[in-house]
Amino acid sequence: MRLPLLIILTLSALVACTPRIQDPGPFAQNPMRPNLTETHYVTTDGTQLPLRRWEPDTTPRGVVLALHGFNDYSDAFSGFGPWMAQNGIAVIAYDQRGFGAAPQKGLWPGHDLLADDARDAVTAIADAYPGVPVFALGESMGGAILLTANDRATLDLDGIVLVAPAVWGRDTIPAYQTATLWLFAHTVPWLSLSGKGIKRHPSDNIEMLRALGRDPLVIKDTRVDSMWGIVNLMDAAQAAAGRFESPALLLFGANDDIVPPAASRRMLDALPDAPDGKRRIAVYDDGYHMLLRDLQGETVWKDILDWIRNPNSPLASGADIGDPKAKLSDH
């Protein structure tokens, strides 16, 4: 009888495990005003997140808050940022909690906290650049964070750019995968998986991908509870799409196999009608998931710059011509 009892107790202990999320910062109970230093974004709970700034030599004509994707960090914008600064637009990017050089690396912070940080960063940027138009750009997970943050209360922005937004929610994930993820997240949440052997092509820029593989700040082994967390975020982002009415530029790669085309099409179907000029959607025929770092990345940069300058004009690339859902076909 002892062995079955031991098995029962062991299984009970495992099932009692729950996905872990980060502890908040030291001032969580007494929030401070968010602010930017030269090297960090200081959040309302006092957490210091490493910051990168790319600024023009003169007063910027606009500022872009740039949010990186899952397991990435602010260096994701090391090409885009300087190019935009040369064209008069400042770019501000920080390592989000749990990523890059931010505290508690590898531990999921919860999408509520990530969304709060994004909202507060908009406030900090407005304080640092009074009177300058402020935009936000989110790549992949960063796009999902902007969707969820904006869903709570419309962000005080002049426009939002969503680059391959992570909207692969449970409604487009096979049930057996979500069931397996739930089991692992609630029994062995600390387990880390590398993703090796999964044949995906996030970009056609092979040298860039190799550099990411050598970068110690890019997370290679992901905790199962972080995977659970990103799926929860993508669920929330997909739901938020149905209420997304802010001025926006939405960018997709026709060859994206990280966020399946069906998930992106579902998001586009959910979007409410928008007046002419308030929303522009572009699909790049040669684009992948990491559009800003693809081999044709500068084409995407130019489209973003043109949209910031004049959101009512067609994009120079022509990627906004045609039916975006038809261009996002299943591979």
Alpha helices in 87-216 (DSSP H): 111-128, 141-152, 175-185, 206-214
Q: In the chain, what is the straight-line distance between the N-terminal and C-terminal CA atoms, in Å?
A: 54
Which tens digit of pLDDT belongs to each residue from 42-86? 999 999 999 999 999 999 999 999 999 999 999 999 999 999 999
Mean of the per-residue pLDDT values for the chain?
A: 90
Confidence of residue 182 (pLDDT cuts 50, 70, 90): low
Residue 249 contacts residue 162 (beta carbons within 8 Å)? yes
Q: Cα separations (Å) of 21 from 2, 98, 185, 230? A: 35, 10, 12, 12
Q: Taking Cα atoms as reference points, which of 91, 164, 79 lies closest to residue 121?
A: 91
The rounded distance, in Å, linking the Cα atoms of 46 and 84 is 30
Condensed to tens digits (0 to 9), the pLDDT of residues 285-310 reads 999 999 999 999 999 999 999 999 99
The confidence score (pLDDT) of residue 27 equals: 81
R_g over Cα of the chain: 20
Structure tokens at 106: 């590898």
For a pLDDT cut of 90, what percent of the chain falls above it? Answer: 76
Q: How far is residue 274's CA from residue 256's CA, in Å, rounded to a whole number? A: 25
Contact 253, 294 (CB under 8 A): yes
Q: Give the integer Cα–Cα distance in Å for 318 and 323.
A: 12
Mean pLDDT of 256-276: 92
What strands, in cross-sheet order, belong to the sheet with 159-163? 35-36, 40-42, 48-54, 89-94, 62-67, 134-139, 159-163, 248-253, 279-284
Pairing of strands 134-139, 159-163: parallel
Backbone torsions φ then ψ of 51, nearest 5 degrees:
-125, 140
User: What is the rounded average pLDDT of the residues 158-176?
Assistant: 88
The per-residue pLDDT for range 81-97, each reduced to its tens digit, is: 999 999 999 999 999 99
pTM: 0.91
Share of the chain above pLDDT 70, in %: 92
HEC sequence for 184-241 = HHCCCCCCEECCCCCCCCCCCCHHHHHHHHHCCCCCCCEEHHHHHHHHHHHHHHHHHH
In angstroms, what CA-CA distances link 181 with 88, 185, 327?
Answer: 45, 6, 31
* pLDDT one-digit tens code per residue, 5-19: 444 334 444 445 677
Of residues 258 and 276, more confidently modeled: 258
Amino acid letter, 220: K
Show the domains of the chain with their CATH numbers.
Answer: 2-20+52-327 (3.40.50.1820)
